[in-house]
């Protein structure tokens, strides 16, 4: 961490702010009708047509101009994170956003955003999500490092998912510009498999925590 004198109270405040920020993300999730449209395009291999929708959705969440009246929870989380990490405002905001995106991929309440397939690892319930948020805050404050092997596997799986998602986006944009039908057929499947590996890595860590009765990661 940036400062060894960081108190448990400071960490608890950041943890709470991150979870509140994540709750805003949950409330802004697409509605059932939007999900039905997205799934229809996906089945037709026309996912690239959804890019404008995804960009608007991202703008609503990350850009203040697109979210009038949005609560100050993101600002609070970024302010606390910046104070505890010593990082500049842009880096602090980016890292808080990455934490929230990781929680969003894990949150069981958001699983309806994807068509679940047999054998897919389940996400985290609210109690488990608190543990995950605690762990992620600790990892990011430590410079995205951890001595916990299971948490390290979580971050490796997330990096893989991020890379494949970026590749999917770039391929879709490139195909659209060339007037072709969309991303190569296997891209969606690879992203889905990476998301499964990410959730499975969290499940190993969460289950280990439950089995060993481990306490919160960020205390003291």
Q: What tokens were used for 138?
A: 């600790």
| pLDDT the model gives residue 31 | 53
Reading the chain (220 residues) residue by residue, the pLDDT tens digits are 444 456 888 899 999 999 998 888 777 665 555 445 455 545 544 444 444 444 445 444 444 444 444 457 888 999 999 999 999 999 999 999 999 999 989 998 876 545 556 778 888 999 999 999 999 999 999 999 999 999 999 999 999 999 988 887 777 776 655 555 544 555 578 888 998 999 999 999 999 998 887 655 443 3
User: Do the Cβ atoms of 95 and 81 come closer than 8 Å?
Assistant: yes
Q: Token match 């448990």: residue?
A: 8
Number of compact structural domains in the chain: 1
Enclosing H/E stretch for 134? helix 126-141
218 within some domain:
no
End-to-end CA distance of the chain: 12
87 within some domain:
yes
166 within some domain:
yes
| pLDDT the model gives residue 1 | 47
Helix 126-141 × helix 186-212 angle, to 10° = 100
Q: Tell me the residue range of the domain where 59 lies.
A: 8-212
3 within some domain:
no
191 within some domain:
yes
SS3 92: helix
Residue 124, strand partner residues: 107
129 within some domain:
yes
1 within some domain:
no
| pLDDT the model gives residue 182 | 47
| pLDDT the model gives residue 153 | 97
121 within some domain:
yes
SS3 178: coil
């Amino acid at each position: 961490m940036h400062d060894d004198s960081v108190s448990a109270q400071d960490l608890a405040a950041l943890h709470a702010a991150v979870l509140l920020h994540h709750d805003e993300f949950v409330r802004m999730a697409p509605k059932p009708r939007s999900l039905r449209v997205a799934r229809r395009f996906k089945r037709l291999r026309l996912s690239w047509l959804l890019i404008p929708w995804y960009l608007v959705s991202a703008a609503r969440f990350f850009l203040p101009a697109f979210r009038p009246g949005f609560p100050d929870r993101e600002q609070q989380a970024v302010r606390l994170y910046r104070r505890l990490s010593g990082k500049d405002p842009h880096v602090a905001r980016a890292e808080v956003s990455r934490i929230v995106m990781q929680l969003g991929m894990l949150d069981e309440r958001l699983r309806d955003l994807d068509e679940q397939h047999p054998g897919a690892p389940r996400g985290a319930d609210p109690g488990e999500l608190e543990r995950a948020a605690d762990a992620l805050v600790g990892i990011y404050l430590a410079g995205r490092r951890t001595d916990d092997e299971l948490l390290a596997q979580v971050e490796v799986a997330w990096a893989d998912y991020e890379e494949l998602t970026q590749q999917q986006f770039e391929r879709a944009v490139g195909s659209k510009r060339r007037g072709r039908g969309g991303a190569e057929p296997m891209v969606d499947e690879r992203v889905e498999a990476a998301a499964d590996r990410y959730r499975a890595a969290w499940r190993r860590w969460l289950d280990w925590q439950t089995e060993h009765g481990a306490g919160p990661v960020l205390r003291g």
